Amino acid sequence: MRLNLKLMCLGTLVCVMPACADLGAIEALRDDAQQARVAMVQRAEQLERLRESFPETDPARAEIDATLAQTRAAIGLVDAGMMRINQVLDEAADPSDGLTRTAQQLGPFLPEPVRLPLVLAAALGATLLRSGQIKKGAISIALSIDKAMEGDEAFRDALARNANTLRALQTPTGRKIVDQAGSRNFLASLPI
């Protein structure tokens, strides 16, 4: 599917941006991703309408459901990629950590082919560090809820009654964090 190829290209470009890339090129990449997302959403809407035109027992519905699920997963991947691009651009534009500030202070003394990759790498590093901190915070929340359930039977029963609703509202990452926090060796897979 051409859309999957575009997603793979987007991921590759984000991971291995050339040293000569500038913020304008990265913003253009984000805009292209947004256009791809709009096209995927339109495709998902078309698939939903097509799916509704088939009877419940029609075997073609299963194939449409599978394609629709792939399209929705692709939309999620594009959203995650765009979020990362936005984080990197925001951090490059307004650094909030010492590493990026230092990189920007050293910037005027460095030649242009080195300057931008240094600033972007610092921003990416800060973003990844923050992601790790957020994940650790989410794990601590899951562990605290687990601990609260040990001592409060009413709370445990209320959570058990609403478990399906809670799971339905969780993102895949949220589900993964809760599952990891519930296992004995969750620290082994801390990176996001």
Would the pLDDT of 144 be above 90?
no
pTM of the model: 0.45
Top-confidence residue, 155 or 61 = 61
Give the whole-angstrom CA distance, residue 166 versus residue 62. 27
- The three-class DSSP label of residue 102 is helix
Asked if residue 141 is part of any domain, the answer here is no
Mean pLDDT of 34-63: 90
Using pLDDT thresholds of 50, 70 and 90, give the confidence band for residue 36.
Answer: confident
Give the count of domains, the chain. 1
Asked if residue 54 is part of any domain, the answer here is yes
Asked if residue 22 is part of any domain, the answer here is yes
Distance of CA 98 to the CA centre of its chain: 25
Asked if residue 132 is part of any domain, the answer here is no
Q: Domain limits at 7?
A: 1-94
Top-confidence residue, 99 or 175 = 175
Would the pLDDT of 46 be above 90?
yes
Give the whole-angstrom CA distance, residue 75 versus residue 167. 20
With beta carbons less than 8 A apart as the criterion, state whether 40 and 49 touch.
no
Asked if residue 128 is part of any domain, the answer here is no
With beta carbons less than 8 A apart as the criterion, state whether 44 and 68 touch.
yes
Asked if residue 155 is part of any domain, the answer here is no
Q: What is the pLDDT of residue 182?
A: 66
Asked if residue 170 is part of any domain, the answer here is no
Q: What is the pLDDT of residue 18?
A: 39
- The three-class DSSP label of residue 11 is helix
Asked if residue 71 is part of any domain, the answer here is yes
Structure tokens at 156: 């445990």
